[in-house]
Copies of this chain bind each other. A is one copy, B any other.
Amino acid sequence: MPLPQTEVPGRLQAHFAERGIRMTQQRRAILSVMETASKHLDASQILRKAQKIDASVDRSTVYRTLRLLKRHGLIDELDLMHINGEGHYYERRLGRDHIHMACLRCGKITEFVSDSFERLKQQVEKDCRFRVLISRLEIGGYCATCRGSQ
């Protein structure tokens, strides 16, 4: 289920430059991790990967950079139904929002893009006069495979 990409990947650094955000070696490492990540890393995984690029990266820098990226709407924070503990997961924010489905049996995460989701958000904007900036729809249940085999 490939996502439609309305943005070229590898542009996090460009975003920083455009907005006049200072670029450091540590940030470069973290951004590159976020850009190349196939999916859903938590803070400690990001730390480990970033340290392979620049060993000096510290835990607190990772958290500070993630907060920065979040504030600028460049990444999304996910809970993935807390399938593994209380931490958070992060992913680059590309084109359209998508739904995250977490299988409560095998732990698999599936993504799903839906026009109905877009329409639902528009309905919220209209009916509740609420300006939608971020949205997170997470679903817990059983994936196709686990659903059959029980």
Question: Is A25 an interface position by the 8 A CB rule?
Answer: no
Q: A128-B144, A139-B124 are in contact. Are A133 and B104 (CB under 8 A)?
A: yes
| A110 proximity list for chain B (CB < 8 A) | 128, 130
| A144 proximity list for chain B (CB < 8 A) | 128-130
Question: Is A14 an interface position by the 8 A CB rule?
Answer: no
B130 touches A143 (CB 8 A): yes
Q: How far is the CA of A142 from the CA of B104 in the complex (A)?
A: 33
A137 touches B137 (CB 8 A): yes
Taking the nearest CB of chain B, how far is it from the CB of A85, in angstroms? 12
Q: How far is the CA of A147 from the CA of B147 in the complex (A)?
A: 43
A130 touches B114 (CB 8 A): no
B121 touches A119 (CB 8 A): no
Interface of A with B (CB < 8 Å)? 77, 79, 81-82, 86, 99, 101, 103-104, 110, 112, 114, 116-117, 119-121, 123-124, 127-144, 147
